[in-house]
Structure 1
Amino acid sequence: MENMDDTSGSSFEDMGELHQRLREEEEVTAEADGTEEDEGGDGEFLGMKGIKGQLGRQVADEVWQAGKRQASKAFNLYANIDILRPYFDVEPMQVRSRLIESMIPVRMINFPQKIAGELYGPLMLVFTLVAILLHGMKTSDTVIREGTLMGTAIGTCFGYWLGVSSLVYFLAYLVNAQITMLQTLSLLGYGLFGHCVVLFITYNIHFHFLFYVLWLLCGGLSTLRMVTALLSRTVGQTPRLLLCGTLSVLHMMFLLYLHFNYHRIIQELLGSLEGPPMAPMQRVARDVPELTLNASLLMSH
């Protein structure tokens, strides 16, 4: 009996221990499963957070690249302005001496004459010519309508300067003359100084004989100055005749056009923009119908 009790006792204790071990293993397994689930949730959260971080970095990179491009454009613009700066960097004394030299022809044509490569003086002369044309329109009692005169004067002066300079440079390129586009612009721009002097005087003193004298004197001297400069840089009789003859005719005829035909054309343009003048309103006698006359006679009787 004692043996049976011991055996039974030991068996009962073994079953209890086994059951306890099973419960402990289940608890450990449950804890492990919970830990894995927690780790899986944290991984998913960290994954979403990583994606958001990558998107933020990409947006920041795009913003940085856009700012870098804008900064490079601004730097390139400043660099372009810096490239143009030498063409306008000139002292007032140099401009004054070049204005005087534009009216003095040089006899030496065997060697290339020096031509200034700057645009400040020519640009100021073109604007001065625009102002003189507007002054002449005001002295001729022309009514200004919505800036038409300003735009037309600017287009005329700049069109002549740029157009004739391009034509002269093209002809110089054909005849192999040693002159650049910048020098052509500068030469023709300073050649407008004679035009400014002639027009300013003749717009205030209306005397045709005086205009013709100044046209031959000032316009001729400025044209001769440009012709001698081109002669010194061109080789051959035919190329010289073609280049210098074209420039002389255009330059002298432009002064005649500004004095005689410019005002007339502008007045016709303004007249076409304003339309034909309206006739004044007048009262017109109307015929009275016979029926109305008969009614008035009956009323009088």
Structure 2
Amino acid sequence: MANEGSAFISLPISSKEYVKFDSRIPFINRYMKVKPLEIGRRILASLGPPCSERFRKSDVDLVGPLIAILFLIALLHYGYAIKDPTATNTFIAPVNSVLLYVILNLCIGFILCKLARAAILFWDLAGLLGYTLYSHVLTLGLSLLIYQEESNAFFFLCLFLFGGLSALRMCVILIVTIPKPAARLLVCSTLFISHLLFLIFLHFAYMHPTFVYGIENSKRVPTVIHNNL
């Protein structure tokens, strides 16, 4: 159950209705007041499609997405700090990349949703897209802990497992809010592709120890860098 006052998107099995929150609820109660245990449950729910009755209601808040952004920025800065110094010539800082993606992806997604006449509000979409960032944190974190981001095969496995399922859940939720099939395809495919491409960009630009942005560098990283882990 969602915390009292929080917004939610109901996902009925056979209906295309989109159930929105009561507009009389204040913004703070609607999006910022959520119990810590609820945030943990919503994080787990964001990593897979709503295939069970328990997860067919997608709770919307902004606390979880803000935490995801902070974790992602911290992880990227750490990964960028232990890269080979000759491979750290990326033109933009990790924090700028994350914030730029979050803002642009949200704005583009909202414009597409409005053009598609989707029954979803701006902050609802912000919460939905924000929770998908936990798949980025989990994918990059596991790749760093297990293979120190050197194994592209393991990264792509986590990409399709966590990133793919998280993006699929996002698309399933958006589908029930968009009335026309062609519009569903446009909105969902755009957000799905941008979600996965951004994760691939983060892996190679900031986390992979020897990859130079724009130039594939095959040399090995000095052992002293790995000892920092």
- TM, length-normalised to structure 2: 0.70
Output the amino acid matched with 2:140.
L
5+ unaligned residues in a row in structure 2: which ranges? 1-25, 216-229
Output the amino acid matched with 2:120.
I
Q: Secondary structure at the match of 2:168?
A: helix
Q: Is the alpha carbon distance of 1:266 and 1:131 closer, same or farther for their aligned partners in structure 2, counting shifts above 3 Å?
A: farther
CA contact (8 A) 1:139 1:203 kept: no
Alpha-carbon offset, residue 131 of structure 1? 0.5
Q: Secondary structure at the match of 1:116?
A: strand
Distance 1:201 1:243 in 2: 30
Distance 1:90 1:115 in 2: 14
Residue 64 of structure 2 is matched in structure 1 by 121
Residue 37 of structure 2 is matched in structure 1 by 93
CA contact (8 A) 2:32 2:61 kept: yes
Are residues 1:255 and 2:199 paired? yes
Matching of residues 82-231 of structure 1 within 5 Å: 85-86=28-29, 87-107=31-51, 114-142=57-85, 152-204=93-145, 205=147, 206-231=150-175
Distance 1:189 1:240 in 2: 20
Q: Which structure: larger Rg?
A: 1
Distance 1:100 1:220 in 2: 14
Alpha-carbon offset, residue 166 of structure 1? 1.1
Q: Is the alpha carbon distance of 1:241 and 1:230 closer, same or farther for their aligned partners in structure 2, counting shifts above 3 Å?
A: same
- TM, length-normalised to structure 1: 0.54
Q: Is the alpha carbon distance of 1:135 and 1:231 closer, same or farther for their aligned partners in structure 2, counting shifts above 3 Å?
A: same
Alpha-carbon offset, residue 183 of structure 1? 0.8
- Residue correspondences, number: 177
Alpha-carbon offset, residue 262 of structure 1? 4.1
CA contact (8 A) 1:107 1:228 kept: no
Alpha-carbon offset, residue 107 of structure 1? 4.4
Percent sequence identity over matched residues?
Answer: 29
Larger RCO: 1 or 2 (CA < 8 Å, sep 6+): 2
Bigger helix share = 1
Runs of 4+ more than 6 Å apart: none
CA contact (8 A) 2:139 2:155 kept: yes
5+ unaligned residues in a row in structure 1: which ranges? 1-82, 268-301
Output the amino acid matched with 1:174.
L
Alpha-carbon offset, residue 114 of structure 1? 3.9
Query: Cα RMSD over matched residues?
Result: 2.5
Alpha-carbon offset, residue 103 of structure 1? 1.0
Output the amino acid matched with 1:136.
G
CA contact (8 A) 2:65 2:131 kept: yes
